[in-house]
Amino acid sequence: MTRSITILGATGSIGASTLDLIRWERDKWDVKALTANCSAKELAALAIEFDAELAVVGDETCLPDLREGLSGTSIQSAGGSQALCEAAALGADVTVAAIVGCAGLAPVMAAVEQGKTIALANKEALVSAGDILMDAVKRHSATLLPTDSEHNAIFQCLEGNDLADVRWITLTASGGPFRTWSHEQLAEAKREQALKHPNWDMGAKITIDSATMMNKGLEFIEAWHLFPVGLDRLRIVVHPQSVIHSMVEYRDGSTLAQLGPSDMRVPIASCLAYPERMDTACRPLDLPTIGELSFFAPDEDRFPATKLAREAAVAGGAAPAVLNAANEVAVEAFLKGNATFTQISAIVARTLDKELPRAPTSLDEVLAVDAEARQLAMTMLEPA
């Protein structure tokens, strides 16, 4: 039996890993929609290769290029943010949410409203609109499968167990490329250095988030929504080899962990096949070659991002959405050379220090908070 799939953010790193798995199981999947922000040529080629029904670019100005790329085919095309939501609302059996940033929130919500399965990689959507999104998941009886490797690990370690028996959920963090750098070195960290992650090959934004440790901060908030054990039962441990993707300790003293290669195709495959398993061509875990696993407490003095995220979670209301928006602005500024590495967390902290908007109670209100926080964060950019 074939299942239908839509991939939001098909041209990105998660999108490519997902399509690689679909290629592997080509006869089992019927591709409904593929989306991208702009890379129209690439999107058109993928839509043709996978015989998609629809291809959508978020940036409408890229639609003519998409149409040109699809000319002579019967694949439908569309552009703009509303079209992204319409693609998400096609009701595919599985929608992979792999747009980066809060830009993915409205499409994720549109997918949730179909009451089908969503494989969620787009953590920023959950950070910005956690309660609202989780409420919608319940209301529409949707199945939200965590694709982020840590959350997928936790999800697997929780299966067959009761949340009430959980003593700790431990998120592992690689520590990023600057794990051992001093304050002085961090202040001088360059874009190219930050873009070189030691273990994972990912999109630019999440790679910078990994270097600042904001990725783990966002994941802390993500875990808090996905696995409601309470903030005081969530902790972070630095594990540079990225072999253990996360762990759950139960009240009897048992700790369950999920291990695997640093290959996002593994957690994505677990979502695509859920509740079954599928074959993948991923390199098996070779523990004797890896040799040693090590663990360290996070240093929030050098990497304040996890502290900022925890504080935003405790504050609740608009704070997580403000944290995320300010971080998106600051990371973009760093990538463009308009902020230094250490200014990223400083901009987030200063934005959170301002009077926060009212707690959002709807998707539109979250988007308004996001827009307001972006504006505020922009005012804090100084020439680097």
Task: Specify binding-site residues.
Answer: 11-14, 122-124, 148-150, 174, 197, 203, 210, 215-216, 219
Contact letters for ligand NAD, residues 348-367 (x by CB under 6 A): --------------------
270 binds ligand NAD (CB under 6 A): no
DSSP letter for 339, please. S
Residue 43 beta carbon to ligand NAD: minimum distance, rounded to whole angstroms: 8
Sign of CA dihedral 111, 113, 119, 125: positive
Residue 58 beta carbon to Mg ion: minimum distance, rounded to whole angstroms: 23
Give dist(CA 325, CA 330) in Å, integer: 9
Q: Annotated binding site for Mn(2+): which residue ranges?
A: 148, 150, 219
Give dist(CA 144, CA 142) in Å, integer: 6
Q: Are 167 and 64 in contact (CB under 8 A)?
A: no
Q: Are 285 and 261 in contact (CB under 8 A)?
A: yes
Pick 38 or 319: Cβ nearer ligand NAD: 38
Out of 148, 222, 249, 263, name the contact with ligand NAD by CB under 6 A. Answer: 148
Pick 116 or 151: Cβ nearer ligand NAD: 151
Out of 11, 114, 128, 345, name the contact with ligand NAD by CB under 6 A. Answer: 11
Out of 148, 209, 263, 328, name the contact with Mg ion by CB under 5 A. Answer: 148
Token representation of residue 152: 């997928």
Half-sphere exposure of residue 25: CA atoms within 13 angstroms, side-chain side = 23
Longest dimension (CA), the chain: 63
- Binding span for ligand NAD by CB under 6 A among 98-106, 127-135, 293-301, 303-311: 98-106
> How does strand 117-120 pair with strand 143-146?
parallel
Token pair 């939200």 is found at 144
Of 36, 14, 122, which Cα lies nearest the Cα of 81? 36
Pick 39 or 340: Cβ nearer ligand NAD: 39
- Binding span for ligand NAD by CB under 6 A among 19-27, 70-78, 121-129, 157-165: 121-129
Of 190, 203, 179, 187, which Cα lies nearest the Cα of 334? 190
Out of 5, 12, 77, 224, name the contact with ligand NAD by CB under 6 A. Answer: 12
Of 36, 121, 110, which Cα lies nearest the Cα of 80? 36
Residue 20 beta carbon to ligand NAD: minimum distance, rounded to whole angstroms: 13
Residue 339 beta carbon to ligand NAD: minimum distance, rounded to whole angstroms: 19
Pick 188 or 201: Cβ nearer ligand NAD: 201
Distances (CA, A) of 173 to 183, 216, 286, 299: 19, 7, 20, 12
Q: Which residues contact 36 (CB under 8 A, 6 or more apart)?
A: 9, 10, 11, 12, 15, 42, 43, 56, 57, 58
Residue 353 beta carbon to ligand NAD: minimum distance, rounded to whole angstroms: 25
Which residue has its beta carbon closest to ligand NAD?
12
Residue 366 beta carbon to ligand NAD: minimum distance, rounded to whole angstroms: 16
265 binds ligand NAD (CB under 6 A): no
Residue 8 beta carbon to ligand NAD: minimum distance, rounded to whole angstroms: 7
Binding interface with Mg ion (CB under 5 A): 148-150
Q: Which residues make up the interface to ligand NAD (CB under 6 A)? A: 9-15, 36-37, 39, 58, 84, 98-100, 103, 121-124, 148, 200, 202-203, 205-206, 264
